[in-house]
Structure 1
Amino acid sequence: MERDEDFRRNDREIDTHFSNDDGYLEETAAEIAEPYQASRDRVDRRERDQVGDDSGSKGIGYTALAIAIISLFVLPVLLGVAAIVVGYIARRKGAHALGAWSIGIGIVSVILGIFITPFF
């Protein structure tokens, strides 16, 4: 009990030493850094994706298409899934038509490999 009274007495003594006219006992600070603008970053990323990085997108697209066509004849499930993944990457890089064809042929190859080929 005596400790509680000592703490209360010390708190009162500390509070009385402050002489603020407005009555606030808070410390505030101003931010120095520039505020982050997410919308501008998103626009910059879209422009960079559309305009800039076309290096290798057609090469990846043709590679995906080659894997998809080969998957029709050899290891249809494994190479079909690989064609779908590489086709998706090609579409993200900018080779939309090649990527779409690779994904489509890869899906057909996987379906043929899983459902139709076991019956022959």
Structure 2
Amino acid sequence: MSETVENRNDTSALWMGWIGIVAGVISFFTLPLIFGIAAVILGIITVNSTAKTLGWWSIGVGVAGILVYWFSTGTLF
């Protein structure tokens, strides 16, 4: 029984990580602050689970989306 609970947690962590990466990629094209911050938050949640590498990638892509917007416009808001 405990294997199914752990397996379910593993897949939810993977989904959150992939959704975070997708949100980070979307932040390059539209609403960078909203999608970038969402990617960072989902990445932090994923890092605290079993999919640590996927979580770090989500954080990195989200921060990169915010920074590209910041440097291209010169302002965050």
In the superposition, the TM-score normalised over structure 1's length comes to 0.51
Q: Quick one: distance in 2 between partners of 1:108 and 1:58?
A: 21
Q: Quick one: distance in 1 between partners of 2:63 and 2:41?
A: 11
Aligned to 2:36: 80
Offset of residue 55 of structure 1: 4.0
SS of residue paired to 2:43: helix
Q: Which runs of 5+ in 1 are unaligned?
A: 1-51
Trace 1:1-120 onto structure 2 (pairs within 5 A): 52=6, 53-114=9-70, 116-118=71-73
Q: After superposition, give the CA deviation of every residue in 1:43-69 in whole Å (9 maximum; x if it has no partner).
A: xxxxxxxxx442411111111111111
Higher relative contact order (CA 8 A, sep 6+): 2
Q: Quick one: distance in 2 between partners of 1:54 and 1:67?
A: 20
Which of the pair is proportionally richer in helix?
A: 2
Q: Quick one: distance in 1 between partners of 2:11 and 2:38?
A: 21
Count of residues in correspondence between the two structures: 67
Q: After superposition, give the CA deviation of every residue in 1:79-116 in whole Å (9 maximum; x if it has no partner).
A: 111100011111112111111111011111111222x2
Q: Quick one: distance in 2 between partners of 1:66 and 1:78?
A: 13
In the superposition, the TM-score normalised over structure 2's length comes to 0.76
